[in-house]
Structure 1
């Protein structure tokens, strides 16, 4: 393998890592209800197709902040991620299991609404923003709803998650 091939290979690895970071940031932004982080994952002219929402990143972030607060918590867990890079365009397929926990005052009781889905994305690398989503389509594979039978009260010693920028994941400790 010559130097050019090595450099091209390293550039592809770096592109995949940047894309993976965008995917993780979008999951985090969604679960933390962080509109700024959500928007930063898309190019301004991107299109997102989430079935119930189809449109640009501004509207998508607004939709997330309108819909997801009806749940006590959400967690989008990303699994298999396949990324194919072709110059300044990349295509990815990301498996996701998304949990949506209903609030205690939900008329149907506390439930875990979980979904298996895949994000089929087109990424573009642009000079002004790097790798960002240009087009996203959600592919829905399955859904399941389970009652929340077991209650677990977290004690005072537990660090609890939040759905805003006060979540501990936004903190940066000195010396870390």
Structure 2
């Protein structure tokens, strides 16, 4: 496999991850991480997903737009730096509000039998607009 193939696979994995965030596909989100991964201030896929759900689970629609991918591959490890613009719409009593942030994902990857998986993720926000309070945990219920 060439570095170009690996680069494209990582960019596709980033797109699937953004889709999982926006569709609230928690299983897909967990599958993006290695068992010992760190991200969103937590360690391990279950804790990472729980933390993300505490912000997106009660939020309205969101859209994670990614670009300016810079990917460096070294054997079975890789690093990607990716710009992101993320728009979050409020839900319920916050339906008319929004929160938007722009920043950069700094991701470290590991090649596994199932493809490239994140072993660490840091998002640094460089610009934010709107009401951060649109990010809410899910409303209690059977699927929360």
What band does the TM-score fall into relative to the shorter chain? Answer: 0.7 to 0.9
Once the two structures are superposed, residues 26-72 of structure 1 have per-residue CA deviations (whole angstroms, 9 ceiling, x without a partner) of 11101111111101111111111x3xx32222111122233213221
Bigger drift between 62-71 and 32-41 goes to: 62-71
CA distance in 1, matches of 2:111, 2:91: 40
Residue 33 of structure 1 contacts residue 64 of structure 1 at CA under 8 Å; is this kept in 2? no
1:55-74 correspondence to structure 2 within 5 Å:
55-74=43-62
Are 1:12 and 2:3 an aligned pair?
A: yes
In structure 2, the residue matched to 1:78 is 66
CA drift of 1:80 comes to 1.1
Q: Report what 2:24 is aligned to.
A: 33
- Alignment correspondent of 1:43: 34
Question: Is 2:101 the partner of 1:115?
Answer: yes
Distance 2:36 2:97 in 1: 36
TM-score (norm 1): 0.69
Tell which structure's C-alpha radius of gyration is larger. Answer: 1
Q: Which of residues 122, 143, 155 in structure 1 aligns to 2:128?
A: 143
> Unaligned 5+ residue runs, structure 1?
1-9, 147-176
Q: Looking at both structures, which has the greater relative contact order when contacts are Cα pairs under 8 Å and sequence separation is at least 6?
A: 2
Q: Which runs of 4+ in 1 moved over 3 A?
A: none
Q: Distance in 1 between matches of 2:42 and 2:52?
A: 12
CA RMSD of aligned residues (A): 1.7
Q: Residue 80 of structure 2 aligns with which residue?
A: 92
- Where do 5+ consecutive residues of structure 2 fail to align? 132-144
